[in-house]
Every structure is written in C-alpha cells, then in structure tokens.
Amino acid sequence: MTESEKAAAEASDAALEDFQRSGRRPTINDIARLSGVSKKTVSRIINLSPFVKDETRERVMKVIDALAYMPDLQARGLAFRRSFLIGLIYNNPSAQYVIDMQQGILDAVRGSGYELVVHPCDLSNPNFLKDVRAFVERQKLFGVIMPPSVSEDEALAQLLAEIECPYVRIASVSLDRNEAMIVTNDRNGAAEAARHLADLGHKRIAFVSGPTSFRSSHERREGFAAGLAEKGLKLAADDVVFGAYTFESGVECGAALLKRKPRPTAIFCGNDEMAAGVYRAARDAGFEIPRDLSVVGYDDSPVAAKVWPPLTTVKLPIREMGRLAAEKLLSGAVEGFTGRVIDAKVAPALVVRESTAKPAGR
C-alpha cells in the first residue's frame, strides 16, 4: 500500500465513522460513495452479479456490513415492477392446517427477505376472481401458493397465468406443470388405511367422504377402495356417505352409519375433524371405540391425539408441504433455491394409535 493509498483509506474510514454517528439509514448512494464505486456496482453486488471483481466486492461488502445496509424493498420493487411478498390464498376450514402451512412457508423464506401475506377467500363468492386479481396486482406479489381446494380452481390458475403471477398449487394429484405443483399422493395414504383395517379382519367398512368439491375426497375414496380391493374387499357405493370435512358433519354421518343393520365395524373418515364427529356419534349411540367400532382419520391434526381413544390416522406433512411449495416458488428467482425441490415428494403415512382393533367376535 503506497502512502497515498493509505491516506485515502484513512479518509474513507473517517467518512464511514462520520456516517455511523449520523444514525441515518444508508442508501445505495451512501454505500457507493463510502466505498468509492458507482451505485451500479453496488447494485450488482446486491443482485449477486458475477461481473464484479472480487477485490471490489470485498471492499464494498465491508462498508455494507459496517453500516448494516439493507436495500430498500420499495425502491427495488418499483424498479423491478414486483414486490418481495408471497401470497397464501386459502379456503381450508381447518385452523391448524392453515397455521402449519404458514409456518412451512416461513421456514422456507426465512432469511431471504421475502414475507408472507395471507389471503383467506371464499370460492363461492362471485367476486372471488376479481378479488384475487386485485390482491395480486395491487401488491405486485412475487407469487402465490394455493392449498386445496383453492388450488383445484382452474379458472384461478388460468387468471394467474394470464397476469403472469408465478404460483405453486398443492393438491392430492398433479393438476399442472411439475414446477407449479406439490402433490400429496392421497391415494397412497388412503390405501394404507384400507390395508390396516382389512388386516385387522374388518369386512363391513364404511367411508365418510369429504365434500365432492374437494379433489382429495375422490382421491381418498379411490385409494381406500383400491387398498380394500388388494385384500379382496369391496367398497360399495352404499358404503360411502358424504360430509363436509367438519366436526358437525362427522356427527351426522356417523349417526347415520351406526343405525344401519348390519352396522359397519370400521369407519374411515376423510379427515380427523369428521372422525372426531364420528366419535361423538358413537358415544351418543352407546358404542365404544375400538371395541364396537374402529375409526381411522386423515391429516394427523392435533385433535387426533386429543380425542379418546387416540385416533389412528394418516399423517399429512402439512408444514413440510408449505416449505416445499415456497421453495419451489422461489426456485430460480432467489439464490439458494435453484432446482432443489423440483422432484420433492410428499408421502402420507399411517399413524396407528388406539382407535382401531379387531372387530368384535374375532
């Protein structure tokens, strides 16, 4: 280092300290001035451009770190014509499901500077598409994530494509390009439940379906039927009753099934909420679980461990699904996410607790 370089370095150190004392939030101009480069070069560094000499980058980074510089997201957003926000558009009635998904998304974006904006909605609202469009366009969302059954709305997916808003859909089967899907393979989970009940020796088995407007209702039914078929059993149309994925609908469906003669010895429910409702119906009708009736749920939500006896159910890794969806969405656009999750698989798994046993008399 020559004398004159040393003097320059000292001068810039002094300027840096002056700035620190000022207490102002630094801008790209401050960083450029204090490190002796143009703001364009600072911009290149912020945006991880490879076209910066290592030495230059180090010098600038030192100033950035010393001043804890954070680029202004509004300004970047204005120039980029988009924000650093991810939208979660959902209509799932389960609070736990939504919270788990939010957590998963936040797991993925932590440290990236992106944040999560939540947008519950109602598919039956005639303004639904207009609302979503306004939401996306006003905030210039980076992209959106959609769990079922919003994810199954083709008109919405088409709208998002038209306005060029990246999205990832979470659904029980693939509905889109691989890059835009997280698939939960509900058939496999339901088939596992079927094999479990068949192996215990049950023959008269009923299925409480979710609403037919949810794709998962069909997938779980078909997977369940396929699992029974492997064991030589059949799920007749008459063995299926329809609920709404809610506790109350579970009570009603359970009560109806338990009045039948002969009554089923096992009931598979489309989700845990309805299974809890079937518990209530069984109690009201004087049946004991699992002695008189085996029950299996789906989701492994917290309620599954809180009911008595603890519920055998199919575990859906909701938080992980959220994380995978966010990683897929950011993949490519954000450093560190590239291609990592394109082939991620979600595998449902049976969790055997105490609500299933051999049927009476075996």
Of 202, 237, 201, 232, nearest to 222 by C-alpha is 237
CA distances from 108 to 151, 245, 333, 347 (A): 20, 28, 14, 19
Which of a second copy, DNA, none does residue 27 bind to, with CB < 5 to 8 Å depending on kind?
DNA
117 touches 90 (CB < 8 A): no
Q: Which residues 6+ apart lie within 8 Å of 50 measured at CB?
A: none
Q: Give buried/exposed letters for 165-186 (b at 16+ CB in 10 A, else e).
A: bbbbbbbbeebbeeebbbbbbb
* Closer residue to a second copy (CB): 50 or 126: 126
Which residues from 274-293 bind a second copy, rule CB under 8 A? 276, 280, 283
The yes or no reply on residue 73 touching a second copy (CB under 8 A) is yes
Residue from 12, 16, 27, 353 touching DNA (CB under 7 A): that is 27
Which residues from 52-71 bind a second copy, rule CB under 8 A? 70
| Closest separation in Å from C-beta 310 to a second copy | 10
| Closest separation in Å from C-beta 34 to DNA | 13
The yes or no reply on residue 354 touching a second copy (CB under 8 A) is no
The yes or no reply on residue 46 touching DNA (CB under 7 A) is yes
CA 340 to chain centre: 17
The yes or no reply on residue 103 touching a second copy (CB under 8 A) is yes
Residue from 28, 85, 293, 334 touching a second copy (CB under 8 A): that is 85
* Per-position x/- string for 71-110, each x denoting binding to DNA as judged by CB under 7 A, each - no binding: xx--xx-xxxx-----------------------------
Within 163-271, residue ranges assigned H as helices are 186-200, 215-230, 247-258
Which of DNA, a second copy, none does residue 39 bind to, with CB < 5 to 8 Å depending on kind?
DNA
The yes or no reply on residue 306 touching a second copy (CB under 8 A) is yes
* Closer residue to a second copy (CB): 205 or 293: 293
Which residues from 107-146 bind a second copy, rule CB under 8 A? 113, 115-120, 134-135, 137-140
Candidates 94-102, 174-182, 223-231, 344-352: pick the segment binding a second copy (CB under 8 A): 94-102
The yes or no reply on residue 51 touching DNA (CB under 7 A) is yes
Q: What is the DSSP string of 33-98?
A: HHHTS-HHHHHHHHTT-S-S-HHHHHHHHHHHHHHT----HHHHHHHHTS-SEEEEEE--S-HHHH
Burial of 348 (0-12, 13-18, 19+ CB in 10 A): buried
CA 81 to chain centre: 26
Which of a second copy, DNA, none does residue 302 bind to, with CB < 5 to 8 Å depending on kind?
a second copy
* Closer residue to DNA (CB): 45 or 105: 45
φ and ψ at residue 242, rounded to 5 degrees: -115, 125
Of 300, 256, 304, nearest to 282 by C-alpha is 256
Of 290, 277, 213, 204, nearest to 246 by C-alpha is 277
Rg over alpha carbons for the chain, rounded to the nearest Å, is 28
CA 328 to chain centre: 11
Residue from 16, 96, 129, 159 touching a second copy (CB under 8 A): that is 96
Write out the two tokens for 83. 């924000």
Residue from 36, 77, 201, 317 touching a second copy (CB under 8 A): that is 77
Q: Which residues bind a second copy (CB under 8 A)?
A: 25, 70, 72-75, 77-78, 83, 85, 95-96, 98-100, 102-103, 106, 113, 115-120, 134-135, 137-140, 247, 276, 280, 283, 302-303, 305-306, 308
Q: Which residues bind DNA (CB under 7 A)?
A: 25, 27-29, 37-44, 46-47, 50-57, 69-72, 75-76, 78-81
